[in-house]
Amino acid sequence: LGTPVASAAIADDPGAEAQTADSPLALVPKPSSVEVKQNSRGYTLSPGSRIVTSNAYRPVAELLAQTLRRSTGYRVPVVTSGRARASDIAISRGDAPSEGYSLTASSSGAKITAATPEGAFNATQTLRQLLPAAVESPTSVRTQWSTPAVTISDAPRFAYRGVMIDVARSFQTPAELKNTINTLAAYKINRVHLHVADDQGWRIQITNSGKAAGDTIDYSRLTSVSGKTAMTEGGYQNEAGHTGFYTQDDYRSIVRYAQSRFIQIIPEIDLPGHTNAALHAIPELNTAGSSHTSTAQEPTAPANGTGNVGYSYLDPDSAASMTFIRHVLTQLAAITPGNLLHVGGDESHDFVARYGKDRFNTFVGSVLGVVHSLGKSADGWNEISRTPEITSGDQVQYWAGDTSTLPDATAAGAKVIMSRGSSSYLDMKYNSKTPIGLTWACSGICDFPQYYNWDPAKVVNGIGDAEISGVEAPMWSETVRGQSQAQFMIFPRAIAFAEMGWTAQSQRDVGDFTSRLSAVGPRLTAAGANFYDSPYATWQ
Ligand code: TNX
């Protein structure tokens, strides 16, 4: 688990195995249209190659240049004036659908056009895949940097193509998280949902600045106390829990890193359940109506296992709960440039048992009210589908359970994110021999074909493409410790998932995907990403 398990490795001269014009192009996710010009020479990057672009597209060009400089050792200057030569990559503005692009690679140059920098970024990810796998290498490689001759036009099926990473149960350092984000971006994932608070840990710094009058809570305790707790059960070879937290500066730097790759970070504070880390850190939350039922306001014990799911909750009748929620969400909104805050809402079992579903709905409704008052929209798990306040811009994330509530959310204007457990959950074991992972959502074989071979528009009657904003694959981390294990669970399943979110249903075929996936292994290896050596894949 600790090192890449793929049999494929980068050869000294991977250019020898570069794609030729007559082998099918191994592009993932599969573009809408690919025209290979047989018997024509493609584009060749040479020591004198430049990227010619305009100011608006310069950041995208610089990011591509960084990748190319590292692996080729060429200078690859980015210029914003003059005409592109046959050895250059030209990135310019032109008509294209949202997030879409066209890309031509020929002996007269590589030419990208897109209506937005985001579309151009997507094109650069495709261009990387047209070049030899060694383009992912962190150090320079000598090879022939040629592409096939090809014309591609492309655009996604869904605007929202996400992966969730649970850093609450097991922490990932900023560097670990960025490494995974970088790899996800190459497959056109454009949302990363960070589950930053749960029973077992609190991972985002909240300061005392801007507290409401009369608020006695010391917010620094969230991380000084619950940043030091984590899941300890279930680790591979009993590996200890991974604790830690992001300072607000860490978080900003993760957001910027993701943003430059056109990935929006969506932070989640799970409410009103899955809140033991907050109850453990903040005495004021432990009122008689909370899961702790403590009138002495003593903090709860830390949670480091999963034996008890849905037991913890905030007191809906205590003013301290809403003060706390408003302060935390206000700070989170201030450091989150994206339009979405995720407020959880899943598995509030003991809350619902004590107060009933109506009280759950009104409580979550007031949380949504706070989110909206901050100028953001809310995401929540499907349990929040019937809360008041839910409106257009909000999204309910379907994972399991009652599907009959989803049409209520969409009738109120919300959209659905499909995360059906059996074909989306990246924390499931691949098979019974997988040393880490859970089995509740998917048992038996839970390999990339299962994550590829479904249509999210066919899961719930009445919830089709028009009601769905996209798809998200959650990587829960009760059993996961650190980047390498996380990537072992994420790849290659999230890549299958990424194509499911990007490529039109009519153009998807699991056999065809599997043959193109073979080229992905060497790229992941070259990039230093870990992945599962699936028996369903043959790596090039
Ligand atoms: C259910 S999915 C949960 C998480 C667990 C996950 C484990 C969801 C909304 N809640 O709290 O980590 O199962 O697979």
Ligand 1 near 427 CB (within 6 A): yes
Mean pLDDT of 154-158: 98
Sheet bearing 51-52, strands edge to edge:
33-36, 150-154, 101-106, 109-114, 89-93, 51-52, 78-79
pLDDT at 414 over 90: yes
Find the catalytic residue in 99, 136, 239, 347. 347
Report d(CA 282, CA 217) in Å as an integer: 7
Q: What is the pLDDT of residues 460-473, one digit of tens each?
A: 999 999 999 999 99
The residue to mutate among 164, 347, 438, having the most atoms of ligand 1 within 8 angstroms of its beta carbon, is 347
For residue 295, what pLDDT is reported?
A: 76
For residue 308, what pLDDT is reported?
A: 86
Q: How sure is the predictor about 405, in pLDDT bands with cuts at 50, 70 and 90?
A: very high
For residue 306, what pLDDT is reported?
A: 85
Q: Is the dihedral of CA 112, 116, 120, 123 positive or negative?
A: negative
For residue 294, what pLDDT is reported?
A: 84
For residue 1, what pLDDT is reported?
A: 57
Helix (H) or strand (E) holding 471: strand 468-475
Give residue 231 CA to ligand 1 midpoint distance, Å: 14
Query: In residues, how long is the chain?
Result: 540
Q: Are 510 and 502 spatial neighbours (Cβ–Cβ below 8 Å)?
A: no
**Facing residues of 160 across strands?**
470
Report d(CA 230, CA 249) in Å as an integer: 22
Which ligand 1 atom is the nearest neighbour of the CA of 441?
14
Report d(CA 296, CA 125) in Å as an integer: 56
Helix (H) or strand (E) holding 63: helix 58-72
Give residue 382 CA to ligand 1 midpoint distance, Å: 12
Q: Quick one: which of 363, 368, 387, 386 has its CA closest to 378? A: 368
Mean pLDDT of 179-204: 98
For residue 24, what pLDDT is reported?
A: 64
Output the CA–CA distances (angstroms, integers) from residue 96 to 83, 261, 358, 536, in the order listed. Answer: 22, 19, 46, 35
Q: Is 472 a catalytic residue?
A: no
For residue 9, what pLDDT is reported?
A: 34
pLDDT at 6 over 80: no
Average confidence score pLDDT of the chain: 94
Mean pLDDT of 331-354: 98
The residues, any chain, with a CB within 8 Å of residue 330's CB and separated by 6 or more, are: 210, 370, 374
For residue 464, what pLDDT is reported?
A: 97
pLDDT at 21 over 50: no
pLDDT at 430 over 60: yes
Q: Are 494 and 454 spatial neighbours (Cβ–Cβ below 8 Å)?
A: no
pLDDT at 312 over 50: yes
Ligand 1 near 346 CB (within 6 A): yes
Provide the percentage of residues in the chain whose pLDDT is more than 70.
96
For residue 202, what pLDDT is reported?
A: 98
Q: What DSSP string describes 109-157? A: EEEEEESSHHHHHHHHHHHHHHS-GGGG-SS---S--B---EEEEE--S
Mean pLDDT of 6-11: 34
Q: Quick one: which of 389, 377, 381, 382 has its CA closest to 405? A: 382
Q: What is the pLDDT of residues 515-530, one digit of tens each?
A: 999 999 999 999 999 9
The complex's ipTM? 0.96
CA atoms within 13 A on the CB side of 82: 11
All structural domains of the chain = 14-154 (3.30.379.10), 160-502 (3.20.20.80)
Report d(CA 125, CA 275) in Å as an integer: 39
Q: Are 476 and 438 spatial neighbours (Cβ–Cβ below 8 Å)?
A: yes
Structure tokens at 330: 């206000």
For residue 207, what pLDDT is reported?
A: 98
Q: What is the pLDDT of residues 40-99, one digit of tens each?
A: 999 999 999 999 999 999 999 999 999 999 999 999 999 999 999 999 999 999 999 999
Which ligand 1 atom is the nearest neighbour of the CA of 397?
9
Q: What is the pLDDT of residues 282-302, one digit of tens each?
A: 999 999 999 999 878 888 999
The residues, any chain, with a CB within 8 Å of residue 352's CB and separated by 6 or more, are: 360
Which ligand 1 atom is the nearest neighbour of the CA of 438?
14
For residue 17, what pLDDT is reported?
A: 40
Ligand 1 near 398 CB (within 6 A): no
Mean pLDDT of 190-199: 98
